[in-house]
């Protein structure tokens, strides 16, 4: 089976289109990836490489306001972002797929599961998910100030708190570039969303088998929140990453990919 990469746009509102990257579209099973704030689907490069080689279809979506997607002024709350994902799922006619979300993408995935009754999803993977709460008021105020006055400095601070393991300067520059592809208004709007919205009621509505993967040294979303999600989501498994912060998909990518693969294949129960 030959691999191919398709890039295209899906309309989610009359004037809003999301960018979708679709690797190995004839793969045996689909994994739909939702990135974290303020990045893009490109953060999953080291998952796309591996899972496509294992025969999976890998679909990455840039939320509205981020990556290559349209950047409207409106629509930055969990329900609208979850509705956007529903539009993508319907446009691509996805079914029996794995939904994988990192950080805020994990929170969006949870709202999708609750609001749309897990439409099309057979398994859920939450990676350092920003749930049931996101930013404290103090953290949000700090990032909002930087987003309004020195967004490159904000991204530098995000990078400094994101990883537990050492990252090279070239990798850091790549990471900063991903965040700066977003618009300033969408960056700030999602900070406010993470400050003001919670997902306590959503967690108990998740019905699909769920893998929770969380870095023990996460400074962005404390590991204690992974324990809380484990208690609230039925049929969930928690896998701690002992050498990772908020970026286990990169910091411990071999183990991360292995555990996600085992879960998808039913070997991790």
- Active-site annotation, residues: 103, 218, 246
Rounded to whole angstroms, how far apart are CA atoms 89 and 205? 20
* 150 alpha-carbon distance from chain centroid: 25
The span from the CA of 126 to the CA of 96, in Å, is 17
Cis peptide before 132 (omega within 30 of 0): yes
In the 8-state DSSP scheme, what is residue 138?
H
CB-based burial label for 15 (10 Å; 0-12, 13-18, 19+): exposed
Measured CA to CA, the distance from residue 14 to residue 31 in angstroms comes to 27
User: What is the dihedral angle through the alpha carbons of 77, 223, 31, 33, rounded to the nearest 10 degrees?
Assistant: 40
| Beta bridge partner(s), residue 5 | 23
Q: What would the two tokens of residue 144 be?
A: 């909002």
Place of tokens 């999301």: 18
């Amino acid at each position: 089976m030959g691999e191919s990469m398709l890039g295209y746009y899906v309309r989610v509102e009359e004037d809003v289109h999301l960018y979708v990257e679709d690797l190995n579209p004839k793969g045996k099973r689909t994994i739909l990836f939702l990135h974290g704030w303020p990045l893009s689907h490109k953060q999953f490069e080291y998952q796309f490489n591996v899972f496509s080689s294992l025969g999976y279809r890998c679909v990455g979506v840039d939320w509205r306001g981020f990556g290559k997607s349209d950047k409207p002024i409106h629509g930055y709350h969990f329900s609208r972002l979850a509705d956007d994902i529903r539009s993508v799922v319907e446009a691509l006619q996805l079914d029996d797929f794995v939904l994988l979300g990192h950080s805020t993408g994990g929170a969006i995935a949870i709202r999708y599961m609750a609001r749309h009754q897990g439409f099309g999803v057979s398994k859920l993977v939450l990676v350092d998910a920003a749930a049931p709460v996101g930013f404290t008021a103090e953290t949000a105020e700090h990032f909002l100030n930087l987003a309004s006055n020195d967004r490159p400095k904000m991204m530098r601070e995000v990078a400094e708190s994101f990883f537990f393991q050492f990252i090279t300067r070239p990798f850091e520059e790549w990471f900063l570039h991903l965040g700066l592809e977003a618009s300033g208004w969408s960056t700030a709007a999602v900070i406010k969303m993470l400050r003001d919205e919670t997902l306590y009621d959503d967690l108990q509505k998740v019905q699909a088998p769920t893998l929770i993967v969380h870095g023990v040294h996460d400074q962005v979303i404390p590991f204690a929140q992974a324990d809380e999600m484990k208690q609230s989501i039925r049929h969930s498994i928690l896998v701690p990453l002992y050498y990772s912060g908020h970026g286990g998909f990169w910091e411990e990518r071999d183990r991360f990919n292995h555990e996600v693969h085992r879960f998808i294949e039913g070997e991790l129960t």
